[in-house]
């Protein structure tokens, strides 16, 4: 009995330290970043595209648009390919596909972001520059690279969602004479809808958070992008690029950018949670 | 034009297979691109030599050591702490508001860009705690970064163990700790292992956070307090600043082979574990 | 199995029952005394002021319709209800004169003294041998010779030894339903408990397996006290010495099985046995 109590105490100490440490990070980022947002004014900080740290001007609008553009583009690719692979893995020829496709996707997930960025620079950017114009370093390049990077996330969560649909739905539909594709898109995808939406949202979160690959292919220009071929800077790359030499208010502004990122991720996660919880309720009903 | 269902299906299936093939194709392309150019660079000399002239020549030995130090220590710290935290949250606390909040927090932190962990690590470990740009700062920062992931995957693996197993264990007169270690952890091991492998993969690939905390010294680190460079960072520096493409490819090849090796080993270990338990 | 074998098993069981009934049950000493015991989950009362004794070397059947508190009663004996949040109880449960809900009761040891078999067989996902040795190892037994001896004795008592003696290293999950339940019985017996409690152990089992288990219980009663919860009144009539009838948490009647089933004191008992409700 006594031994159990000691173990319980030891576990508590470790767990609370871990949780405390993580909470500390959250508090820290907010502590360093919020004062600057308050000082500059949230509206100005978020909506002004004047980022001149040396003059004390901190407006991250251009970077917010940059992140949004790049993420949206990434999701087009990530959602289509990711969901497509998930459907192949679960609905059409699962065994044959699984042997090659599943490990392939897991390996794609394991490739370091710097390698992706590198491939983007060496292969994709010249292609874009030659055939579509512009500097090559662009929203388009970033979207393609990020799309491939979030594909594994979208696929794995979608696969989970599709596999959670009761087999009886599939069998019932086929028994009524529907083709496999009809069953897939009218029954299975419908039933797994909230899980798939959650997959997309979490994929978005991944795309928003990516730093290194984007630095390498996005061009890092501080203007609001007007076309997919424009170079762009995202919130994450801004922090990475300037942290090394930022000081004082500048550094605080980078932390403030971190706060914005934090909030974006929190919102995305909350939405994903809400969406998948609704599925649970509906399934139970 | 409305197609008969059978036709639609054929088109769609063809389209899906194209998508799948493209996905596999991209992987093959990346792997081939890097490995074909890089593997020839990876000689014994390359692996054991020190870099010369900022990496223009020479090898990557100190960088391999640096990577092992930073990544190895990060996972060595994060794995036990993460698994213990997961055990605590699932077996030693009651499910309620607080655990739901902690879970949400862990999910969020798992998704926070690594650069933010880099920021924190820089200000907290490097400056405030005075560790300076060092392998230790880098390792601790990385361990915080992968901790949420390990906690979540371990927690899910533990929760997947049927409640009836726990009841049977208690019914046979076990203490809680005996039940947790001998029954729950034993069954949850594959899932937990996957999480740890993911963490290793993420640590070894991490660049931004490492850059800000472990620095990028090219010398062989003599202690944990020395700055050191990791493979991913070295690759990034070499390629971005055009220092040496051939060495960059070589570094990337080593990195990819290492990741491949880790994944395969983990897969093999899981197979053995699951095989043992049927 | 053939109907001949089924017939033989049933006749053997009936013969034993007759033999036991022919000798008037010597009043054994009280093994468990339950006094004024009430239990509730989250405020909803499940057992109301139940008082009865379980004597040594007897089989006590507990019957009653669904939701009458039979399972809760059983689980209160070995304090397995402690695991359910919201459980609270009043009254006494004395094992050999000591209150199991007393402050100094060693719950783990209690659960070894009161062995439990559940309605659904839950083999742990390991080998047969590991399933059986688990409880012993947790109790601190180390020598494999001793462990093996206990395992063999337990399997023999559960009438499973002959069937599995050559495949103790096989996974327990590979056994049939009836075999798994006998395994669970052996698992409890391996700890050499003093009381054996079974919660509808034969629900979902084929008649042969059911007969086997009832046969085992018949032999076991000389060494243990047996408390058998069952939904099947015919089973209670076959396989017990005394029977207790629980209705909506109350103990309506308790007495020798023969008497309860032929001339019950309470009208409600009569109604239940004759199938007027259930």
pLDDT the model gives residue B1: 58
Per-residue pLDDT tens digits for A138-197 = 899 999 999 999 999 999 899 988 888 888 888 888 898 888 888 888 888 888 888 899
Distances (CA, A) of B152 to B87, B105, B118, B143, B209: 11, 10, 21, 14, 21
CATH code matching the domain that covers C3-273, chosen among 3.30.499.10, 3.40.50.11540, 3.40.640.10, 3.40.50.300: 3.40.50.300
Whether the predicted pLDDT of A285 surpasses 50: no
Please name which of C244, C236, C210, C240 lies closest in space to residue C225, comparing C-alpha atoms.
C240
**What string of DSSP letters covers B36-92?**
HHHGGG--HHHHHSPEEGGGTEE--HHHHHHHHHHHHHHHHHHHHHHHHHHHHHHHS
Confidence of residue B220 (pLDDT cuts 50, 70, 90): confident
Cα angle C65, C68, C74; round to 5 = 110
Residues of A in contact with B113 (CB under 8 A): 208-211, 236, 261, 265
Whether the predicted pLDDT of A31 surpasses 70: yes
- Cα dihedral value B225, B227, B231, B232, nearest 10: 110
Q: Which chains touch C (3 or more CB pairs under 8 A)?
A: B
Confidence of residue B101 (pLDDT cuts 50, 70, 90): confident
B172–C191 CB contact, under 8 Å: yes
Residue B111 in any domain: the answer is: yes
Which of A19, A80, A110 lies closest to B102 in CB terms?
Answer: A19
Confidence of residue A281 (pLDDT cuts 50, 70, 90): low
In degrees and rounded to multiples of 5, residue C209 shows phi and psi of -60, -40
Length of chain A, in residues: 285
What's the CATH code of the domain at B253?
Answer: 1.10.3720.10
A243–B232 CB contact, under 8 Å: no
Is C150:C232 a contact under the CB 8 Å cutoff? no
C85–B94 CB contact, under 8 Å: yes
Instruction: Tell me the angle at which helices C144-157 and C207-220 cross, rounded to the nearest 10 degrees.
Output: 110
Residue A11 in any domain: the answer is: no
Residues of A in contact with B107 (CB under 8 A): 269, 273
Average pLDDT, rounded, for chain C: 87
| Cα–Cα dist B97/A19, whole Å | 15
Bridge pairing between strands C87-95 and C30-41 = antiparallel
| Cα–Cα dist B40/B27, whole Å | 20
Residues of B in contact with C120 (CB under 8 A): 164
B127 in contact with chain A, both atoms CB, cutoff 8 A = no
Higher pLDDT, A248 or C248: C248
pLDDT the model gives residue A1: 65
pLDDT the model gives residue B151: 93
Residue carrying the six token digits 């020395």: B226
Whether the predicted pLDDT of B252 surpasses 80: yes
A57 forms beta bridges with A52
Which of B164, B178, B278 lies closest to C122 in CB terms?
Answer: B164
Residue carrying the six token digits 């040594």: C56
Instruction: Tell me the angle at which helices C177-189 and C207-220 cross, rounded to the nearest 10 degrees.
Output: 10
Whether the predicted pLDDT of A75 surpasses 90: yes
Higher pLDDT, C140 or B278: C140
B173–C109 CB contact, under 8 Å: yes
Is B244:B56 a contact under the CB 8 Å cutoff? yes
In degrees and rounded to multiples of 5, residue C247 shows phi and psi of -135, 120
B268 in contact with chain A, both atoms CB, cutoff 8 A = no
Residue A221 in any domain: the answer is: yes
Residues of C in contact with B171 (CB under 8 A): 78, 80, 111, 115-116, 118, 188
Residue carrying the six token digits 């952890």: B185
Q: What is the CA radius of gyration of chain C?
A: 19
pLDDT the model gives residue C193: 93
For residue A29, the chain B residue with the least C-alpha distance is: B120
Tally the C-alpha atoms within 13 A of residue B91's C-alpha that lie toward its C-beta: 32
Q: What is the CA radius of gyration of chain B?
A: 23
Please name which of A141, A155, A115, A193 lies closest in space to residue B20, comparing C-alpha atoms.
A155
Per-residue pLDDT tens digits for A87-139 = 988 888 777 777 888 888 888 888 999 999 999 999 999 999 899 888 889 89
pTM of the prediction? 0.85
For residue C133, the chain B residue with the least C-alpha distance is: B172
B164 in contact with chain C, both atoms CB, cutoff 8 A = yes
Per-residue pLDDT tens digits for A210-239 = 999 999 999 888 888 888 888 899 999 998
Its domain, for residue B257, covers: 59-277
Residue B170 in any domain: the answer is: yes
| Cα–Cα dist A189/A211, whole Å | 32
What's the CATH code of the domain at A259?
Answer: 1.10.3720.10
Q: Exposed e or buried b for every residue in A180-203, given b needs 16+ CB within 10 A?
A: bbbbbeebbbebbbbbbbbbbbbb
Average pLDDT, rounded, for chain B: 88
Question: How many CB atoms lie under 10 A from the CB of residue C258?
Answer: 14
pLDDT (average), residues A230-256: 88
Helix (H) or strand (E) holding C149: helix C144-157
Confidence of residue B278 (pLDDT cuts 50, 70, 90): very low
Residue B187 in any domain: the answer is: yes
C78–B169 CB contact, under 8 Å: no
Residue A26 in any domain: the answer is: no
pLDDT the model gives residue C181: 94
For residue A214, the chain B residue with the least C-alpha distance is: B208
For residue B91, the chain C residue with the least C-alpha distance is: C83
Q: What is the CA radius of gyration of chain A?
A: 22
Residues 63-122 of A with CB under 8 A from B: 80-81, 84-85, 87-88, 92, 97, 100-101, 104-119, 121
Per-residue pLDDT tens digits for B144-197 = 999 999 999 999 999 999 999 999 999 999 999 999 999 999 999 888 988 898
Its domain, for residue A64, covers: 51-284
A48 in contact with chain B, both atoms CB, cutoff 8 A = no
Whether the predicted pLDDT of B59 surpasses 90: no
Question: How many CB atoms lie under 10 A from the CB of residue C206?
Answer: 14
Q: Is C251 helix (H, G, I), strand (E, B) or coil?
A: strand
Residue B260 in any domain: the answer is: yes
Question: How many CB atoms lie under 10 A from the CB of residue B7?
Answer: 11
Is B147:C82 a contact under the CB 8 Å cutoff? no
Please name which of A97, A93, A75 lies closest in space to residue A184, comparing C-alpha atoms.
A93
Q: What DSSP designation does B113 have?
A: -
Residues of A in contact with B106 (CB under 8 A): 22
| Cα–Cα dist A113/A102, whole Å | 20
Please name which of B188, B195, B138 lies closest in space to residue B165, comparing C-alpha atoms.
B188
A187 in contact with chain B, both atoms CB, cutoff 8 A = no
Which residues are CB-contacts of B225 (< 8 A; sequence separation ≥ 6)? B131, B132, B134, B135, B136
Confidence of residue C20 (pLDDT cuts 50, 70, 90): very low
- Å between B18 CA and nearest CA of chain A: 9
Listed range (A55-59, B25-29, C60-64, C182-186) with the worst mean pLDDT: A55-59
Whether the predicted pLDDT of A280 surpasses 60: no
Six token digits for residue B221: 């680190």
Residue B92 in any domain: the answer is: yes
Confidence of residue C7 (pLDDT cuts 50, 70, 90): low
Per-residue pLDDT tens digits for C157-177 = 999 999 999 999 999 999 998
| Cα–Cα dist B131/A70, whole Å | 36
A110–B9 CB contact, under 8 Å: no
Is B127:B172 a contact under the CB 8 Å cutoff? no
- Cα dihedral value B117, B123, B129, B132, nearest 10: 90
Question: How many CB atoms lie under 10 A from the CB of residue A12?
Answer: 14
Total of domains in chain B: 1
| Cα–Cα dist C56/A187, whole Å | 60
Is B141:A21 a contact under the CB 8 Å cutoff? no
pLDDT (average), residues C99-113: 91
Instruction: Tell me the angle at which helices A2-40 and A249-284 cross, rounded to the nearest 10 degrees.
Output: 120
Residue B87 in any domain: the answer is: yes
Counting runs of H as helices and runs of E as strands, what totals does chain B give? 12, 2
Distances (CA, A) of B137 to A195, B121, B126, B217, C131: 38, 7, 6, 14, 46
Distances (CA, A) of A164 to A169, A180, C34: 11, 18, 46
- Å between A184 CA and nearest CA of chain B: 10
For residue A208, the chain B residue with the least C-alpha distance is: B113
B177–A212 CB contact, under 8 Å: no
Question: Taking CB atoms and an 8 Å cut-off, how many pairs form between chains B and C?
Answer: 61
C39 forms beta bridges with C47, C89
| Cα–Cα dist B219/B227, whole Å | 8
Whether the predicted pLDDT of B221 surpasses 90: no
Is B213:B138 a contact under the CB 8 Å cutoff? yes
Please name which of A260, A262, A213 lies closest in space to residue A240, comparing C-alpha atoms.
A213
**What string of DSSP letters covers C71-120?**
HHHHHHHTTGGGGSTTEEEEEEEEETTEETTSTT--HHHHHHHEEEE-SS
Total of domains in chain A: 1
Residue A36 in any domain: the answer is: no
Cα angle A26, A258, B199; round to 5 = 65
Per-residue pLDDT tens digits for C191-225 = 999 999 999 999 888 888 899 888 888 888 888 89
Residue B271 in any domain: the answer is: yes
Residues of A in contact with B212 (CB under 8 A): 243-244
| Cα–Cα dist C168/C181, whole Å | 16
Q: Give residue A208's region: left, alpha or beta (phi > 0; psi -120 to 50).
A: alpha
B256–A111 CB contact, under 8 Å: yes
Q: Is A221 helix (H, G, I), strand (E, B) or coil?
A: coil
Distances (CA, A) of C170 to B172, C34, C166: 21, 41, 9
Residue B169 in any domain: the answer is: yes
* CA-CA-CA-CA torsion sign (A181, A187, A189, A192): negative
Confidence of residue C145 (pLDDT cuts 50, 70, 90): very high
Is A180:A92 a contact under the CB 8 Å cutoff? yes
B36 in contact with chain A, both atoms CB, cutoff 8 A = no
């Amino acid at each position: 009995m006594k031994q159990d109590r000691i173990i319980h105490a030891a576990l508590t100490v470790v767990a609370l330290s871990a949780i405390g440490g993580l909470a500390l990070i959250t508090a820290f980022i907010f502590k360093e970043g919020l004062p600057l947002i308050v000082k500059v004014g949230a509206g100005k900080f978020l909506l002004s595209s004047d980022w001149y740290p040396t003059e004390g001007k901190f407006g991250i609008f251009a970077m917010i648009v940059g992140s949004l553009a790049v993420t949206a583009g990434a999701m087009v690719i990530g959602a289509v390919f990711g969901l497509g692979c998930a459907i192949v893995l679960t609905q059409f020829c699962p065994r044959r596909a699984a042997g090659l496709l599943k490990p392939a996707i897991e390996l794609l997930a394991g490739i370091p972001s710097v390698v992706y960025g590198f491939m983007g620079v060496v292969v994709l950017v010249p292609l874009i520059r030659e055939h579509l114009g512009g500097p090559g370093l662009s929203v388009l390049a970033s979207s393609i690279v990020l799309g491939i990077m979030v594909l594994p996330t979208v696929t794995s969560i979608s696969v989970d969602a599709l596999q959670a649909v009761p087999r009886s739905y599939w069998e019932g539909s086929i028994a009524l004479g529907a083709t496999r594709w009809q069953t897939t898109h009218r029954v299975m995808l419908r039933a797994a809808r909230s899980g798939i939406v959650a997959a997309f949202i979490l994929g978005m979160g991944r795309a928003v958070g990516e730093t290194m690959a984007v630095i390498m292919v996005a061009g890092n220009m501080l203007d609001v992008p007007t076309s997919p071929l424009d170079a762009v800077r995202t919130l994450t790359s801004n922090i990475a690029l300037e942290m090394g030499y930022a000081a004082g208010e500048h550094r605080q502004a980078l932390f403030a950018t971190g706060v914005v990122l934090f909030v974006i991720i929190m919102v995305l996660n909350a939405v994903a949670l809400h969406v998948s919880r609704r599925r649970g309720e509906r399934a139970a009903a | 034009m409305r197609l008969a269902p059978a036709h639609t299906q054929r088109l769609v299936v063809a389209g899906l297979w194209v998508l799948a093939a493209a996905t596999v194709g991209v992987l093959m392309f990346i792997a081939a691109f890097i490995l074909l150019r890089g593997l020839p660079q990876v000689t014994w000399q390359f692996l054991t030599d020190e870099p010369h002239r900022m990496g223009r020549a020479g090898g990557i030995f100190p960088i391999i050591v640096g990577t092992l130090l930073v990544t190895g220590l990060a996972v060595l710290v994060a794995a036990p702490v993460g698994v213990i935290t997961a055990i605590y949250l699932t077996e030693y606390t009651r499910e309620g508001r607080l655990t739901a909040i902690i879970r949400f927090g862990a999910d969020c932190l798992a998704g926070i860009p690594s650069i933010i962990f880099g920021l924190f690590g820089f200000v907290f470990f490097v400056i405030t705690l005075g560790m300076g740009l060092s392998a230790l700062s880098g390792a601790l920062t990385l361990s915080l970064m992968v901790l949420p992931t390990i906690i979540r995957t371990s927690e899910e693996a533990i929760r997947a163990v049927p409640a009836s197993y726990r009841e049977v264990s208690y019914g046979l007169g076990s203490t809680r700790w005996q039940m947790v270690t001998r029954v729950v952890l034993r069954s949850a091991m594959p899932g937990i292992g996957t999480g740890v492998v993911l963490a290793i993969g993420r640590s070894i690939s991490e660049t931004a956070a490492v850059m800000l905390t472990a620095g990028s010294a090219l010398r062989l680190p003599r202690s944990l307090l020395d700055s050191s460079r990791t493979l991913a960072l070295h690759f990034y520096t070499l390629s971005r600043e055009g220092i040496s493409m051939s060495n960059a490819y070589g570094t990337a090849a080593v990195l990819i082979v290492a990741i491949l090796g880790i994944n395969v080993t983990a897969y093999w270990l899981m197979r053995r574990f699951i095989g043992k338990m049927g | 199995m053939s109907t001949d074998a089924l017939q033989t098993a049933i006749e053997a069981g009936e013969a034993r029952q007759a033999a036991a009934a022919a000798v008037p049950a010597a009043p054994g000493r009280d093994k468990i005394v339950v006094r004024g015991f009430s239990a509730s989950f989250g405020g909803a009362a499940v057992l109301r002021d139940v008082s009865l004794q379980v004597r040594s070397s007897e089989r006590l059947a507990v019957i009653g319709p669904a939701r009458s508190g039979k399972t809760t009663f059983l689980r209160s004996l070995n304090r397995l209800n402690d695991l359910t949040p919201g459980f609270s109880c009043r009254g006494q449960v004395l094992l050999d004169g000591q209150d199991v809900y007393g402050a100094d009761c060693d719950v783990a040891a209690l659960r070894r003294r009161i062995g439990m078999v559940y309605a659904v067989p839950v083999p742990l996902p390991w080998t047969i041998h590991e399933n059986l040795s688990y409880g012993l190892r947790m109790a601190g037994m180390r020598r494999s010779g001793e462990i093996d001896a206990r395992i063999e004795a337990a399997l023999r008592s559960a009438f499973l030894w002959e069937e599995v003696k050559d495949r103790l290293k096989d996974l327990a999950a590979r056994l049939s339903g009836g075999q798994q339940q006998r395994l669970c019985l052996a698992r409890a017996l391996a700890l050499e408990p003093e009381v054996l409690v079974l919660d509808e152990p034969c629900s979902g089992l084929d008649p042969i397996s059911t007969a086997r288990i009832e046969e085992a219980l018949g032999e076991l009663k000389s060494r243990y006290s047996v408390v058998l919860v069952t939904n099947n009144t015919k089973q209670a009539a076959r396989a017990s010495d005394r029977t207790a009838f629980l209705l909506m948490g109350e103990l309506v009647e308790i007495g020798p099985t023969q008497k309860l089933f032929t001339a019950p004191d309470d009208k409600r008992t009569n109604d239940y046995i004759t199938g007027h409700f259930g």
